[in-house]
Amino acid sequence: MRIVFAGTPDFAVPCLRAAAQRGEVVAVYTQPDRPAGRGRELTPSPVKREALARGIPVLQPENFRTTVSKDALRALKPDLMIVVAYGLILPQSVLDIPAYGCWNVHASLLPRWRGAAPIQRAIEAGDAESGVCLMQMEKGLDTGPVLLSQSLAVGEDTGGALHDRLAALGAQVLADGLGLLRAGIRPVPRPQPERGVTYAHKLDKAQARLDWSRPATELANRVRAFNPWPMAEGTVAGERVRVHAATALALIHGATPGTLLLASREGIDIACGKGALRIRTLQRDGGKPVSAADYLNGRADLRTA
C-alpha cells in the first residue's frame, strides 16, 4: 500500500510508527513549524521530527484549499490517508483522493466526545471508560462511521496519563485495521448512533480556575483532567496556586466555599459547595510542584493539625 500520514502532536507519533513499520508511508503531512519556547524559535512538530528520523518526506501546507495542495496529494497516488490529530479540516475533495479514503484515529468512544479535547473532557465529566475509535472520515466533525474500536478504564488517570495510554491504544487499533486491509479485508463501517452525541470543546486556560462553589467531586475531576495543561488553579488562604493533585472528600460542613478547613501533612482541605477538596500537590508562582506538607513548611501560619 501507499500510505499518506497526517498528524501533528505527540499523540499521533505512536500511530505514525505503527503505519510506517512496513515502509508503506510515502509522505507525512503536518502543520507548519510554529514559534515555541522563550526564544520563540520555529519548532517542528513531534510528527515531523519522527518522520525526518525515518527518512519520510514531509509536507506542511497551511491548508488544503488550493489546487496546488490538492494536486501535491494526488501526485502521491495514496491508497489510504491516515489522519491523527492533524489540526486541519480536510474538505471532501481531499477525502476523496485516496483509493480507500481517509481513516482517523480518535481518542474517545464515539459518538461521545467528538471534537478537539476528548481526553480531558472525559476525565472532567467523570467518565469511567474511554477508548479509541478508528473512523472512516467524512465531511462532518468526527461523524464518520466507526471501523474498529477499543475501550479502557479511566481510573484515576490525569489528562497526561490517559493521553499516553490512548496514544498507545490508538496505534494498536490502527495496526489492526491496516492488518485487515493488507489481507484484503475492509473493516465494516458502523454508523454512529444519533443518541449519546457530546462535543469536547477546545481547552481554555480560563476554565482552569477552580470555583469553590462547585461540588468537590467536580473540582477533583477538573484537577486531573487539566494536568499537565492548562493546570487547575485556585486561591488558597489568599494565595493563587496551581493544583496538581487533589482528592474529593464527602465532608459535611457549614463553611463558606473557599474556606480553609484543615491544613496538615495529608493535605489542605478547602470547603466546596458540596464536600471539600483536599489539595495534595500544589505549586506557588515561580516555584516547583510540592507536596502539601512541603508547602506548609513555608506557610506554617496555615497549619491546623
Annotated binding site for (6S)-5,6,7,8-tetrahydrofolate: 108-111
CB of 180 closer than 8 Å to CB of 187: yes
CA distance 245 to 160: 13
Is the previous residue joined to 111 through a cis bond, with omega within 30 degrees of 0?
A: yes
Rounded-to-integer distance, Cα 217 and Cα 272, Å: 9
Any idea what the Cα angle at residue 149 is, between residues 111 and 82, rounded to 5°? 90
Q: Is there a contact between 103 and 78 (Cβ–Cβ < 8 Å)? A: no
Cell numbers linked to 179: 492488518
Q: Phi and psi dihedrals of 286, rounded to 5?
A: 80, 0
Between the CA atoms of 274, 127, 124 and 134, what dihedral angle is there, to the nearest 10 degrees? -170
d(CA 111, CA 125) in angstroms, rounded, equals 15
Set of cell numbers at residue 297: 513548611
Closest Cα to residue 7, out of 22, 28, 24, 26? 28
Binding residues: 108-111
Task: Tell which residue, 46, 1, 33, 44, has the closest CA to residue 20.
Answer: 1
Q: What is the C-alpha to C-alpha distance for residues 24 and 242, in angstroms, rounded to an integer?
A: 45
